[in-house]
Amino acid sequence: MLTVHHLNNSRSQRVLWLLEELGVPYQVKRYERNRATMRAPAELQQVHPLGKSPVIEDGALKIAETGAIIEYLLETYDSAGRLQPPAGSEARRQQTYWLHYAEGSAMPLLLLKLVFMRMASGVPFILRPLVKKIAATGQARVTDPQLEQHLQYWNATLQQTGGWFAGSAMSAADIMMSFPLEAAHARMTLSRERHGAVLDFLDRIHARPAFQRALDTGGKYELLK
């Protein structure tokens, strides 16, 4: 049976959700982050040299990187095209774009924001005000204006397509993009006025039975707001 190496509160939630949407049987091997460092346990390095999640094993195959996993699952278990627009269509091209964009463009910025947010923790008391100031400046000058630009881009895209990232129906692009949207919601202040379509998207995906089943399987997901 297909195995998902799943880290709590992580990107691998998307893989569980996709498997639930497709109705593919799977089992989960759970790993817990270190509460102080938020790093994955060293045990995950026995699964993959980078020790990151998600990784899946399907028979003799072992696949890492969410985008690569999602492409493999679509090719192998979605011959009916339930979660991918037809090959050659403009919507399919859009799906490919968002599958790459999520980890290539959105997540590096969101990770930098997280680094700034946590920069002062663990720093000696005497240095803390200075480090806090540096972190606040980094957010004000670097991450926050760019993240707002990305948020506006997502909002406009979702408004234009009627609520989904690639074409007029839900696709794997929405599953891939769910994590940057969750992370942005957790790390930025979103408003109905400026980010209404993004917030509606999150409400809509959270209400899906397959999303809820994936939460039951994956355990507590603290990025949810």
Ligand X SMILES: N[C@@H](CCC(=O)N[C@@H](CS)C(=O)NCC(=O)O)C(=O)O
Binding site for ligand X (CB under 6 A): 7, 10-11, 39-40, 51-54, 65-66, 103
Least distance in Å: CB of 80 to ligand X?
26
Residue among 54 and 85 whose Cβ is closer to ligand X = 54
Partners of 27 in beta bridges: 3
Least distance in Å: CB of 218 to ligand X?
12
Residue among 164 and 179 whose Cβ is closer to ligand X = 179
Residue among 107 and 134 whose Cβ is closer to ligand X = 107
Least distance in Å: CB of 52 to ligand X?
3
Residue among 13 and 84 whose Cβ is closer to ligand X = 13
Least distance in Å: CB of 9 to ligand X?
8
Residue among 66 and 143 whose Cβ is closer to ligand X = 66
Identify residue 135 by its one-letter amino acid code.
A
Identify residue 21 by its one-letter amino acid code.
E
SS3 69: helix
Cα–Cα separations (whole angstroms), residue 155 to 51, 158, 164, 195:
34, 5, 10, 6
Least distance in Å: CB of 102 to ligand X?
8
Instruction: Return the H-helix or E-strand segment holding 76.
Output: helix 66-77
Distance CA 4, CA 46 (A): 14
